[in-house]
Structure 1
């Protein structure tokens, strides 16, 4: 798989960057304990399979219909990554994870999966992100490569989000003592996304 190291590094940067999903995992862990945080993490990661499938089928269709369209999508994806970076640089910092009422673990899992699946922005992200790391001239089909990349993304999401859930109390306390920490996390993530977007745009 070409550029696998770059894909994994980018995926980790995206997963660690402050966002609604990992904030909800933190909130669950802080308010209801480690088990709730871990279940929320597994729920959000499970939702990735839905977006990966949509992206894989859609991109394969685009590639079959027009290589030029695929190149346009590639540039659009690079621009989208740069836009995410600029947005992160302009962010005012990480919002604190708030308290939530206690709920059964099955409810937390279901809500986490649906929260991820029902977010069209996540589908859009996968549509423009995964193709940047596909080898269109390789022996494997584009659909299979996209599914493999999606599984890798899901696996690292499980690991990172599970750490967030298990360490929610410690992370939450650290953030409360350092209210500007999220600001610098956003700055670092923003620069990372911009650099990756430029790298993707220049890659043959």
Structure 2
């Protein structure tokens, strides 16, 4: 992959990462309520799942989306149900203006949540299958090419998702009253529920 191709690949992946979808909605909702830092492991889980899809596409396993259709459907429903459940919890939660309790113990759960959100969308691998030939010759692909593509994907997606998280958190900090916080929780919950419904109904 040439420098020009790598730069274009990076920009395209960045745009892909910030395109509205279940993952972006989940990042928005979490950042609005818990802050941008709490979104890191959630975003990282999504990115790891994407990199796995990217690697599978590079290795020529395009048929996985067809042969594992039932598994993808099951994962999609589990991810959707989890998002809806989190959304309901947010929507019905009582407003609080302080969040001093430690939350580091939930990092692994946030990673799994992010991984499920991305892994439950088999169209991601189809995107990479159609996308990669524009930037590299898959018939002459080597390990270095895959590592470069994975590294660029990691940086571009994490940059895009965390920028969304910081932006959402910055906006939420302007809302400090209990009434505003309640509305913020309800809005974030509605976003999360909508993301779950979107994930469950997409084909």
Q: TM-score under structure 1 normalisation?
A: 0.55
Conserved 8 A contact 2:87-2:189:
yes
Cα offsets for 1:22-51 (capped at 9, x unmatched)? 5442xxxxxxxxxxxxxx63x853784476
CA shift, 1:14, in A, is 1.5
Rounded to whole Å, the distance in 1 between the matches of 2:81 and 2:195 is: 12
User: For structure 2, which runs of at least 5 residues remain unmatched after alignment?
Assistant: 1-11, 139-145
CA shift, 1:170, in A, is 1.8
Q: Among 179, 182, 202, which residue is 1:180 paired with?
A: 182
Alignment length, in residue pairs? 171
**1:158 matched residue in structure 2:** 162
**1:100 matched residue in structure 2:** 100
**1:134 matched residue in structure 2:** 125
Root mean square deviation, CA, Å? 4.6
User: For structure 1, which runs of at least 5 residues remain unmatched after alignment?
Assistant: 26-39, 102-110
Q: TM-score under structure 2 normalisation?
A: 0.55
Cα offsets for 1:106-128 (capped at 9, x unmatched)? xxxxx97x964674524642562
**1:32 matched residue in structure 2:** none
**1:70 matched residue in structure 2:** 68
CA shift, 1:9, in A, is 0.3
CA shift in 2, pair 1:153/1:84, >3 Å: farther
Equivalent positions of 1:15-164 (< 5 A) are 15-17=27-29, 19=30, 23-25=33-35, 41=37, 44-45=39-40, 48-49=43-44, 52-53=47-48, 56-57=51-52, 60=55, 64=61, 67=64, 68-88=66-86, 90-91=88-89, 92-93=92-93, 96-100=96-100, 116=107, 119-122=110-113, 124-125=115-116, 128-129=119-120, 131-135=122-126, 137-138=129-130, 140=132, 151-164=155-168
Q: Among 25, 28, 39, which residue is 1:13 paired with?
A: 25
Cα offsets for 1:38-84 (capped at 9, x unmatched)? xx63x853784476346634885698497255323431342134313
Conserved 8 A contact 1:130-1:146:
no
